Structure 1
Amino acid sequence: MVRPLVAALRIPSLEIFRHRLFAQYWAARWFGTLAIQIQLAAMFWQIYDVARVQGQSIQEGAFQLGLVGLAQFLPLLCLSLFGGQAADRYNRKLILVGCFAMKCLIALGLMVATQFGPGVVVPAIFGAAVLAGATNAFMPPAASALLPMLLPREELPQGIAWSSLAFQSAIIIGPAIGGTLFLVGPMVPYATTFALLLISTFLVFTIRTPRQEPVKDARTLGMIIEGLRFVWSNKIVLGAISLDLVVVLLAGAVALLPVFARDILHEGAAESGVLRSAFGVGAATVALMLAVAPLRRRVGVWMFTCTIVFGLATMVFGLSSNLWLSSLALAIAGGVDMVSVFVRSSLIQLATPDAMRGRVSAVSFVFISASNELGDFEAGLMARIFGPVLAVTLGGAAAVAASLGWMRLFPELAKADGFEAKDLADAKPAAAE
């Protein structure tokens, strides 16, 4: 009787963790993401709280949050393509170790800065954002390109789902922990971040990675151009990463969560953490479902359906004045966004040769960061102009419209039935055959 019940519940198999290298990678990703989410929750709340205490309006405080996102995005934009070619040219594990070590130093600097007043803390947070953006230009391409080296090809979609689950489960508890620890003292979340990042650094350093496939052309500029040419010529990959850019850029509201928590919902730092966690709850739930049964068919339809629902959920969040309705809307947005992330990641990993994965991942991450960090700035700017409620609501409506437009611009992506070459070839227009 127990066995049929377990089968009906479809408990996710842990068989993939028999690959010890993947297990270490997964743990490092979880601890690292948890650390960064704790740090971000503290940084954003501290910036907005200082702005409001100093007498700035809601719109001005929201714009300060947007500037933090811009400070992260600009160095990332300038360096990401170099980070991608570095991931193909040099040892990916050592790049990750260096990036985790830099993030440890950033957390240490914030710990020290919190001992001083706003005149030191605010510039320190912006400085941390700039350094984090520069580090993120090298970290995600190396991490993304390293993952396929740790698993057999046939297990990679499930590995991507489990890796996403590590990320999203950390997002669930990280912001809530960050908001709660901030109430104890501003230095506490940064000290916790530092300790967790040390664990991640050790886990990555002790991974014994397989030999990396060498590149044929080791010239920096040539490698960058080759990566860009590959993405541009592959319309399905281009459509997937550009769709994510447009939708999240327009409908992203994460940077404004302190604004909604404090001045729309009239709550505190802990509730702001709950809102940040709600998005992760939805995403982790869907990631768990994908770990049990990864999508393998009609992936294009799934992706576009989910981006439309993402825009609609964002509109509900923007119009809500209730904490639990706002949390539910964010959870739905997180869940459907996870599907989009899974489809995009699987397309990139399975359609890209190993020697080019770093560069293609870097191009993808430029789009992702533009949608996230630049999206934070766009959200802050729109909130400065229209107010936070109207800015988020209009952004959600624009994301729905953009999704419909992308279905016409990239019909190959809308028709994609799977991740393998034969599935993607079937999606191409007849004229291209």
Structure 2
Amino acid sequence: MLKTENLTVGYKDYVVVDNINLEVKEGEILCIIGPNGAGKSTLLKTIASYLKPIKGVVYLEGEIIHKITPQNLAKKLAVVLTERVNPGNLTGFDIIAIGRYPYTDVFGRLTEKDKEIILECAKSVNASHLLNKYFFEMSDGEKQKIMIARALAQEPRVLLLDEPTSFLDAKHKIELTLLLRKLADEKNLAIVVTLHDIELALRVVDKIVLIKDHKIIAYGYPEEIMDNKTVNYLYDIINANYNEVIGYFELKRRKKGKIFVICGAGSGANLLRFLVKNGYNVTVGVLHKGDADYFIAKAMELNIIEEKPFKEISKEKYMEALNEIKKADVVIYTDFPIGDINYLNKKLIEEAKKMGKAIKFENIDQLKYDLKIHLKNFKFFR
């Protein structure tokens, strides 16, 4: 469908990204990710034929894309850029109608078929209610839907989008990424999109391209290439860790107060994030490898007392945890499910209570109050 071959993009003699070999097929979403200034937009604009390549070729259905006439290209490929537009007093219908220009006569007159397509495109992006609304009155999320509907009105085979979630809130980001997945699946579109949100990208795209230092550092299935080492290197991250299992970053900053946390089954996720964010030295255990809290603690580079999956906590691990509890300033435990394999964690809580160190995590406000009492070095909470 769309393919680049030994493509080098940039401006005159300035190379932005070199030696690009990518391919996206019908029904696939290819996502381009990289730090600001890496060349994502330059690559996308070259694929769209807005920029000429320094070297190499872009093929669309076997044709060299830069040799296709603009009118014919507009029937095969549509682009939604990140730049905000100011179309004056045009309605949603008027904006979408612009997408029909490759098919209208010299006067730009719309036929009944054109009007049907406009209505269908609005419906496909859940924007039928915006057809009579002025574009300047719309929210950023509504505007983005209209711009995608305009692109769909061209009846393209390929859709290119440059950072379409840039100005959107969380709700509209999710809606838009799910919409792209729907368009790829139902309309069999080949979609190339640049995104900043790794979490969303992982959940909807088929292939990912990672760009850094003027080159492609990884290309393939996100499940295979988005690992800790690669993503941390991509963004030069030092004080956080990307975890491929949970699909996002966790902070790894700690300074004060030694705290031992007893949790499990995801019950400690918010607690661990809160403590690490506020600079506490956290040890967690006993956690089974594969537990949700284990992956979160691992991403934070916390000290973990760990047990093998589905195995009863051994006496050795119990004693290791107990020794850490003796050295801790505070022991915080959550309301985690207790069974045969983690029963010794309940005994750890009982021992911590005997030492007068135990705090049950109920909510953040209560935790702040309890830590104020237990920790002499308490200073400040965010």
Larger-Rg structure: 2
Whichever structure has more helix as a proportion of its residues is: 1
TM-score normalized with structure 2 length? 0.22
Query: Structure 1 length normalisation: TM-score?
Result: 0.20
Q: Which has the higher contact order (CA 8 A, sep 6+)?
A: 1
